[in-house]
Chain A
Amino acid sequence: MVNGLNLLFQFLDSFAFIVLAAAGLAIIFGIMGVINLAHGEFIMVGAYATTLANIRLGLPLPAAMLVGVLVSAVFGLLVERVVISGWLPNLVSQRAVGRDVIEPLYDRLADSMVATWGLSLIMVQGVRLTLGNSLDQIGTPLGNIAYSGFSYSTYRVLLAGVALAVLGITYYVFTRTEYGMRARATIQDEDTARAMGVDTERTYMTTFAFGSALAGLTGALYAPTITMVPGLGSSFLVEAFVAVVVGGPSVVLGTTLAGGLLGSINAVFSNLVGTFFGRIMLLLTAIVMIRFLPEGITGFVERLRERRQEGA
């Protein structure tokens, strides 16, 4: 009954959506121990900047998307300095080192959730007050692929390729660059890393900006397909969180595996039964995973490996 090609496209679509929605969140969570509940709003910043650059400034779509990425990276940098790191009061009281006035939010899960949730409310309402309740929407480029009575948006299939590229670039950045090495050292043992001369403060700052840039990229890529309203970020948040929970602590591998698993579950059930059921199955999967693999797929793999090493 169901065309196999349909299922494949639907899988690619879901995979891209889940991976792109989760990538920035996973990096900021995995490396900084900050749960960014404003992640959806960072996506909104990317989408809005892209749309405004395209419609108001008349930039071609790819250039506008680049603007979206840059704006959200800069915005993320500002947020990290002002909200997450507690750098601002030091400036006010002219202290060069130490954070006497405000503790940064690194590795404070619950606190970072409250702070970023507040930030998300301010962002949504701030955008509403400054730019109104909606923006005009860019059309989706590239037409469609037609096959025996069915058709699928080419652009959305292309997004799956972009999602893979994002995973590849992230892998490269964290394993092959000096920044990546410092970032991994910072996750493993912040104090030792600092003793070895790693500027962990700078690492955190760069990581947050990188995560924000990825969120902005997601917004930029989906801007031509979704409605431009200030609350658009919320439609990404559930998928992003489920993917991070299911994927576990390893950013690239976890996100890839989660995207693959959740993408196929979503594709199969929403195609066979309906969109609503697809979403139920996503959340059911998350429940089962939290119950049986509380550290996600990669956490489980890690534990298996440790056990084997102990046995050997």
Chain B
Amino acid sequence: MSDRLVSRRGFLGSSAVLAGTALAGCSGGSASGDDTIKLGVLEDRSGNFALVGDPKHKASLLAIEEINENGGIDGQQIEVFDPDPQSDNQRYQELTRRMINQNNVDALWAGYSSATREAIRPIIDREDQLYFYTTQYEGGVCDKNVFAVGPTARQQLGSVLPYPVEEYGSDIYTIAADYNFGQLSADWVKVLADENNANVIGEEFIPLSNSQFGSTINRIQEADPDFVMSMLVGANHTSFYEQKASAGLEVPIGTSTAMAQGYEHRRLDPPAMANIYAGVNYMEEIPTQRNTEEGGFVDRYYEKFPDAPYLNEEAENNYFSIYMYKQAVEQAGTTEQEEVKAALESGITFGAPEAPGDEEIALDGATHHVDHHMWVMRADEEHNVEAVDDRVIPETFLSETVGCDLTQEDEETQYTPQDFYEEAG
């Protein structure tokens, strides 16, 4: 009996601690002064996207802390508002309204998935809120209020796809998550395959809730492609890599979604990720001086968050875009959002961790996208990751194909490859 009582008390005690932590998480950032710059950071620390959202949140805090320690922006300290949106789009909408109307944030960073971005974009546009979307995504958002600083499908797939075509052959099988990101990314694979003289011989779209890939693996084996392009998303889909390895499917895979975001090469038992090529603007392993040298980005991140599991692609995007915002405010001399947008459009550059040497990445004022330094990272049998290719790839879809120029004309549109390419149709 006494044993039971002890364990019961222990259980109650630990759940009280849990409840306390949860409450503490909600009340962050309620004090507000007038002489601070207010930034809203909505990143998922629970729910479906917690794994990939948590590093974004941490890297934002790192950038803000660094800026505050170095005297703030033009002498003003940054105050951060960062409730947890819990991977819930409805909660995102409520919190976005709260950030704009009650907290009066000067700029907002929010959201992991494209579905989230599209859920809050109408609110952003109605309020003309300066907004940074930092996830790698399908591309095509030409919106006067949105700075989509993550790489687009054309940049990511465009960097990785030519590599396996040259190395293994031209027959491609596409597997992608069944929502706007996956569908549009699969269209980009078709467009890029055409540009690289390759063919898509099969494709399959998989619901986000699916975690069993037996039939998908069979269908890939039946089609017998030279390599697979994978735009699978989320925790359930990660099971694909382990399952294909245990089924003995040894096909090379090109991807824009695996490893750089959910660090599968660290979490999965080798050789599940062997021969996977990721086209990314950032991974913890990219060999640049600013990233891996002593006192570099990786060191600073783990010094502040010793228990953090990984520093992912989107974390770097949050990090450098906060610095770009700082530059823009200092250039504009105000936090007035219209003037900061104009400053951002004037062509801000920053020495982000992704860029090697003294190179800087540039924010393209016309499209609100970034000309990223893209890397092709390959994992081997032991899950060691090495860079096999890297170069600057400008965002050309909006600038060249669509002709989006937000410095001349205000727009709030998302363009898709289907609008411009026959292959995508």
Contact = CB atoms under 8 A, between A and B. Distances in A.
Interface residues of A, number: 57
B50 interface: yes
Contacts of A126: 15, 18
B289 interface: no
Interface stretch (A151-159, A187-195, A211-219, A286-294): A151-159
The interface centre, meaning the residue of A10, A136, A274 with most chain B CB atoms within 10 A of its CB, is A274
Contact of B215 (A128, A129, A133, A278): A278
A125 B46 contact: yes
A146 B248 contact: yes
A235 B209 contact: yes
A235 B210 contact: yes
Nearest to B11: A78
A98 interface: no
Interface string B210-244: 11111110110110100000000001101100110
A144 interface: yes
A133 B54 contact: yes
A231 B48 contact: yes
A31 interface: no
A224 interface: yes
B22 interface: yes
A228 B267 contact: yes
A138 B246 CA distance: 12
A226 B266 CA distance: 15
Contacts of A275: 204, 206-207, 210, 212-213, 215-216
B50 A128 contact: yes
Contacts of A238: 209
A133 B270 contact: no
B371 to A, nearest CB: 32
A6 B218 CA distance: 7
Contacts of A274: 204-205, 215-216, 219
A132 to B, nearest CB: 7
A125 B210 contact: no
Contacts of B245: 139-140
Contact of B211 (A1, A151, A235, A271): A235
Interface string A110-141: 00000000000010011011101111111110
A234 B268 CA distance: 20
A163 B268 CA distance: 26
A165 B292 CA distance: 52
A227 B239 contact: yes
Contact of A153 (B236, B248, B266, B272): B248
B214 A139 contact: no
Contacts of B293: none
Given A139-B269, A275-B206, A10 B221 contact: no
B214 A156 contact: yes
Contacts of A146: 248
B242 A140 contact: yes
B388 interface: no
The interface centre, meaning the residue of B22, B51, B206, B215 with most chain A CB atoms within 10 A of its CB, is B215
Contacts of A125: 18, 22, 46
A136 B267 contact: yes
A136 B221 contact: no
A143 interface: yes
B26 interface: no
Nearest to B224: A149
A183 interface: no
A155 B46 contact: no
The interface centre, meaning the residue of B213, B224, B245, B247 with most chain A CB atoms within 10 A of its CB, is B247
Nearest to B308: A132
Contacts of A142: 246
A276 B248 contact: no
A105 interface: no
A247 B333 CA distance: 69
A9 interface: yes
A229 interface: yes
A136 B270 CA distance: 11
Interface in B113-133: none
B380 interface: no
B238 A227 contact: yes
A257 to B, nearest CB: 21
Interface of A: 1-3, 6, 9-10, 13-14, 17, 78, 82, 88, 122, 125-126, 128-130, 132-140, 142-144, 146, 149-153, 155-156, 224-229, 231-232, 234-235, 238, 267, 270-271, 274-276, 278-279
18 contacts: A2-B222, A6-B222, A122-B15, A128-B50, A132-B309, A133-B309, A137-B242, A144-B246, A153-B243, A224-B246, A225-B242, A225-B243, A227-B211, A227-B239, A231-B47, A271-B219, A275-B212, A275-B215
Given A153-B243, A227-B239, A235-B212, 14 more contacts: A2-B222, A125-B46, A133-B54, A135-B267, A137-B272, A139-B246, A139-B269, A151-B221, A152-B248, A153-B246, A229-B51, A231-B48, A270-B214, A271-B218
Interface of B: 8, 11, 15, 18, 21-22, 46-48, 50-51, 54, 178, 204-207, 209-216, 218-219, 221-222, 224, 235-236, 238-239, 242-243, 245-249, 262, 266-270, 272, 307, 309
